[in-house]
Amino acid sequence: MSKSIYSATLILLSTLSLFFIACTQTEQAQSQNNQIALLDANMKGNYTYEVVKTLPHDTSAFTQGLVFYQGSFYESTGLQGQSSLRLVEVDTGKVAKKVSVPAEYFAEGMTIFQGKIFQLTWLNQKGFVYDLGSLQKEKDFSYYGEGWGLTNDEKNLILSDGTNKIRFIDPFSFEVLKTISVSENGQPIANLNELEYIKGQIFANVWQTNRIIVIDPSSGNVTASIDLTGILKPEDVTTQVDVLNGIAYDLSKDRLFVTGKLWPKIFEIKLKKK
């Protein structure tokens, strides 16, 4: 083979190699973008799911609120006389730290805001504020009506009360700043339970369904619906397990987690367009 043909062959092989590398990188980038796009501010329509990873969950935890923060789960659990606030190891499900809520309270949703944990109770119109590091309770706060789900948009606490109303509350004065009415195709959607604020949208469990809805916080309109039917397999369904409830989001790795009350598992899921 002559030097000129050899050189030309090397150039061709190098060009083809660069082309294939570029194509592979483009496909990987597109795949990543497609996954991220399912959790952005333009999320619309109907979705199903793919289980990415299955994690253990304490079957005694009647999950009312779930948050992923700095590599751990924080969980609020309910039931009269059994309510708690917990720090939970993600991979093992082990409860690393637990604070019991006084027996007269049925704990509900919780959120983390500026180094504090805010936790609701169901019927007592009272919430608690804890130090994030120690889980020591620092003070109480009051609100009207029932407490169900709680999240925040880095400015306000966002509270559901079992109706189709969601309130935005000042985290310092606890004054209600605004209220939105949640509707889908003009019909009110009630029983809004656990909440999670993700990339400018409110994700909400609809109590006693296998459905999570995505809500525009400015209008209250439902922009997307996620069907999680069948995520808990028949062999994991016992007389003890209760309804789907629990949404947590890992912003650093763009991961979405879901679970339910007294479920044996937490699922990391990827959303897929129907």
Task: Please report, for the chain, the start and end positions of each structural domain, with discontinuous segments joined by +.
Answer: 1-37, 42-273
**Residue 69: what pLDDT?**
98
Element holding 207 (H helix, E strand): none
CATH classification for the domain delimited by 42-273, as one of 1.10.260.40, 3.30.70.960, 2.120.10.30, 3.20.20.70: 2.120.10.30
Surface-to-core class of residue 35, CB atoms within 10 Å of its CB (0-12 exposed, 13-18 middle, 19+ buried): middle
CB neighbourhood size of 153 (10 A): 15
CB neighbourhood size of 244 (10 A): 26
H-only helix segments in the chain = 3-37
**Residue 33: what pLDDT?**
41
Nearest to 249 by CA among 262, 268, 263, 224: 268
Q: Are 119 and 127 in contact (CB under 8 A)?
A: yes
Block residue for tokens 């062999």: 235
**Residue 258: what pLDDT?**
98
Measured in degrees and rounded to the nearest 5, phi and psi for residue 155 equal -130, -45
Sorted by sequence, the CB contacts under 8 Å of residue 105 that are 6+ apart come out as: 80, 83, 121, 122, 124, 126
SS3 call for 186: coil
Predicted model pTM: 0.86
Please give the structure tokens belonging to residue 228.
Answer: 């999680």
Measured in degrees and rounded to the nearest 5, phi and psi for residue 61 equal -90, 110
SS3 call for 100: strand
User: Identity (one letter) of the amino acid at 258?
Assistant: V
**Residue 130: what pLDDT?**
98
Average pLDDT by consecutive 10-residue portion of the chain (274 residues)? Answer: 50 48 44 46 88 97 98 97 98 97 98 98 98 97 97 98 98 97 97 97 97 97 96 89 96 96 97 92
Sorted by sequence, the CB contacts under 8 Å of residue 155 that are 6+ apart come out as: none
Sorted by sequence, the CB contacts under 8 Å of residue 274 that are 6+ apart come out as: 45, 46, 47, 48, 227
Q: Are 203 and 217 in contact (CB under 8 A)?
A: no
Sorted by sequence, the CB contacts under 8 Å of residue 267 that are 6+ apart come out as: 51, 52, 53, 54, 55, 231, 257, 258, 259
Report the distance separating Cα 182 and Cα 259, nearest Å: 23
